[in-house]
Amino acid sequence: MLGECELRFLSERRIAHLATADRDGVPHVVPVCFVVSGMTLYVTIDAKPKRQPPRLKRLRNIAENAQVAVVVDRYEEDWGRLGWVMLAGCAEILTQGQEHDAAQDLLRGRYPQLAAMQIAQLPVIAVRIARVTSWGNLALDGAPTS
């Protein structure tokens, strides 16, 4: 489902936007750090101070409605360089286990800032990618393709 061009584009981008909705369909979108492994996109909850309780809105929404979408995009003033990839699927909240730990390792490898944070016991959102849509210029440097 994820083509080579889309995978390269995702590996180049640093920020995604995770869209969740509560049981009533009220949307909530937040920027997130991410990594893709196979057909799963992972997002960790980082160690920044959050309001506790309650849990983060994105986690509450996923518990109520597991359908999510993630958009990774590139905006440039030169509109010939615009591009985006949207991944949609079902999300799970991982709190422990081999997949949780492996995802944390992948995320730490991609984002050195996470190395200094105590994230090992924090949840990971695993988005099981069911649909991929892309548009525009996905070339790594954004140069027009022939």
pLDDT digits (tens, 9 = 90+) for 118-133: 889 899 999 999 999 9
For 106, the domain range is: 4-136
pLDDT score for 96: 96
Residue 145 lies in a domain: no
Backbone dihedral angles phi then psi of residue 91, each to the nearest 5 degrees: -105, 145
Residue 144 lies in a domain: no
- What is each CA distance from 38 to 100, 101, 104, in whole angstroms? 15, 16, 15
pLDDT score for 52: 54
Q: What CA–CA distance (Å, rounded) separates 4 from 31?
A: 24
pLDDT score for 87: 98
pLDDT score for 46: 82
Residue 49 lies in a domain: yes
Q: What CA–CA distance (Å, rounded) separates 66 from 128?
A: 10
Residue 142 lies in a domain: no
Say which CATH number the domain at 44 has.
2.30.110.10
CA nearest to 87, candidates 7, 4, 142, 28? 7
Q: Which residues of the chain have pLDDT under 70?
A: 47-54, 142-146
Residue 76 lies in a domain: yes
- What is each CA distance from 53 to 7, 31, 72, 87, in whole angstroms? 36, 21, 30, 30
pLDDT score for 53: 45
CA nearest to 36, candidates 14, 7, 12, 59? 7
Q: How many domains does the chain have?
A: 1
pLDDT score for 130: 98
